[in-house]
Chain A
């Protein structure tokens, strides 16, 4: 199966690979897995106190499409509000990367990772507010 040029570009030059401090109250961490293929993806968002995503990092162990999907969304969500980031749909990721039908689940994984990271961030905020 041929990968699209955009997938290859993100795969060969992945953006924003790395980790942030999980315990930082402004950092939300999302960890998701695709049991169908054994891929695992970690996405971290650093959110300012006024709800803007300042930074995003990822680590993905999986196929080229999974790496490209996570790399792409880290670029997209920077500068977005948390609510805007929640609106990022896998269909847009798949479209941008020209993913074939058998690789759609990789874009679903990236969407789920954003949601998981934001859920983690929000849970931290609630916890901090009640303490």
Chain B
């Protein structure tokens, strides 16, 4: 089966130009559009529907910088695991401890209605998230295409995996910040 990059005729790289992605997607969508196949037989129509579903999935995955990174890493042989996946990438205990402390501090700050502290924690974690995104980008910049992975590139792939896992923890943290900010805005906090 073709991978998402192949479906959209794109090079398997992390950097994907947004405009190119849009253009390819729209061109391919037209190809499978049901209006073009009204006279086709049942089998062809089903095939087209499946191709459209796959195309949409490919587009959604490659459009999102994090999902694209996770997908591309999988092509490089490392699966950091999706939301519902049981497969897991080992997490550094020191990092987990840091996350635990950050979450505890946020819970305390929220409980004490210390908004300045909440804001400080939010900008700290946003900066961490941005750094992790930069690490992902930099990591991929130094990688060749998935088939050409040399032995020296394993460390780079692992570093990207580590940054992607860290990102999940930062996103969870920032989700709580968002909830808090919404409550604050509506006066519920």
Q: Which A residues form the contact surface with B (CB < 8 A)?
A: 31-40, 42, 59, 61-62, 102, 104-105, 108
CA of A104 to CA of B88, assembled, Å: 13
Q: Is B85 in contact with A40, judged by CB distance below 8 angstroms?
A: no
Which listed residue (B97, B100, B165) contacts A35, Cβ 8 A?
A: B165
Indicate if the CB atoms of B103 and A40 lie closer than 8 Å.
yes
Please determine whether B103 and A61 come into contact, CB atoms closer than 8 angstroms: yes
With known contacts A40-B169, A61-B172, A104-B86, A35–B80 Cβ distance under 8 A: yes
Q: Kindly identify which residue among A32, A36, A59, A102 contacts B81, using a CB–CB cutoff of 8 Å.
A: A36
- Roughly how many angstroms separate A59 CA and B82 CA in the complex, as a whole number? 24
Interface residue from B86, B107, B168 paired with A38 (Cβ < 8 Å): B168
Q: B94-139: which residues lie under 8 A (CB-CB) from chain A? A: 96-97, 99-100, 103-104, 107
> Which residues on the B side are within 8 Å of A37 (C-beta)?
83, 168, 172
Q: How far is the CA of A37 from the CA of B107 in the complex (A)?
A: 19
Please tell me if B148 contacts chain A, counting CB pairs below 8 Å: no
Where the two chains meet, the residues of B that have a C-beta atom closer than 8 Å to any C-beta of A are 80-91, 93, 96-97, 99-100, 103-104, 107, 165, 168-172, 176
> Across the interface, do A31 and B97 meet the contact criterion of CB distance under 8 Å?
yes
| B86 lies within 8 A of A32 (CB) | no
Q: For the complex, what is the distance from the CA of A40 to the CA of B95, rounded to whole Å?
A: 11
Kindly state the separation between the CA atoms of A33 and B94 in the bound complex, as whole angstroms. Answer: 11
Q: With contacts A40-B169, A104-B86 known, is A35 near B103, CB below 8 A? A: no
Given known pairs A59-B104, A61-B103, the reply for A40 and B83 (CB within 8 Å) is no
CB-based contact A59/B100 at 8 Å? yes
Contact: A36 with B82, CB < 8 Å?
yes
Contact (Cβ within 8 A) A35 B86: no
Hey, which chain B residues are within 8 Å of A33, CB to CB?
Answer: 91, 96, 99, 169
Instruction: Return the chain A residue nearest B107 by Cβ.
Output: A61
CB < 8 Å: which of B88, B90, B103, B107 contacts A36?
B88
Q: How far is the CA of A37 from the CA of B81 in the complex (A)?
A: 9
| Closest B residue by C-beta to A34 | B88
Known: A31-B93, A108-B86. 17 other contacts (CB 8 A): A31-B100, A33-B96, A33-B169, A35-B81, A35-B89, A35-B91, A35-B168, A36-B80, A36-B83, A36-B84, A36-B87, A37-B168, A38-B171, A59-B104, A61-B100, A61-B107, A62-B172
CB closest chain-B residue, reference A101: B84
Contacts of A108 in B (CB 8 A): 86
Q: Would A36 and B171 count as touching, CB distance under 8 A?
A: no
Q: In the complex the two chains form, is B89's CB within 8 Å of A39's CB?
A: no
Chain A nearest CB, measured from B102 CB (Å): 9
Name which residue of chain B comes closest to A41, CB basis.
B100
Give the complex CA separation of A108 and B86 in angstroms: 9
Q: In the complex, what's the smallest C-beta–C-beta distance from B174 to chain A, in angstroms?
A: 10
Q: Given A31-B100, A33-B91 in contact, is the A39-B172 Cβ separation under 8 Å?
A: yes
